[in-house]
């Protein structure tokens, strides 16, 4: 199963906080697609994944919208 979270229009730290909440509602191994317009998300989301142990599968930017695919890992660090 996968879930899409639309965080467009929100600035730091809201996309990260919304991603954390959404991931907490998923089972291990499920994926979250996060959409954001905050340019800082290009730094914040990879950092969030690195510090929590979740896997950043992909990141992309098109028309000023950043898209991140994150796999939930067993437990946050």
Mean pLDDT by 10 residues, the chain (77 residues): 94 96 96 98 97 97 98 78
Catalytic residue among 3, 6, 8, 12: 12
Active site residue 49: no
Domain 2-60's class? alpha beta
pLDDT at 77: 54
Tell me what pLDDT residue 59 has: 98
Residue 39 to residue 75: CA distance in whole angstroms: 28
Neighbouring-strand partners of residue 33: 4, 69
pTM: 0.92
Cis check for the bond before 13: say yes or no (omega within 30 of 0).
yes
Neighbours of 43 (CB within 10 A): 11
- Domain boundaries, given as residue ranges, for the chain: 2-60
pLDDT value for 73: 93
Are 61 and 37 spatial neighbours (Cβ–Cβ below 8 Å)?
Answer: no
pLDDT for 2: 86
d(CA 51, CA 34): 17
């Amino acid at each position: 199963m996968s879930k899409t979270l639309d965080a467009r229009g929100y600035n730091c730290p809201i996309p990260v906080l919304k991603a954390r909440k959404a991931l907490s509602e998923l089972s291990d191994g499920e994926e979250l697609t996060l959409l954001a317009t905050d340019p800082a998300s290009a730094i914040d989301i990879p950092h969030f994944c690195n510090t929590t142990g979740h896997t950043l599968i992909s990141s992309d930017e098109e028309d000023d919208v950043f898209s991140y695919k994150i796999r939930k890992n067993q437990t946050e660090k």
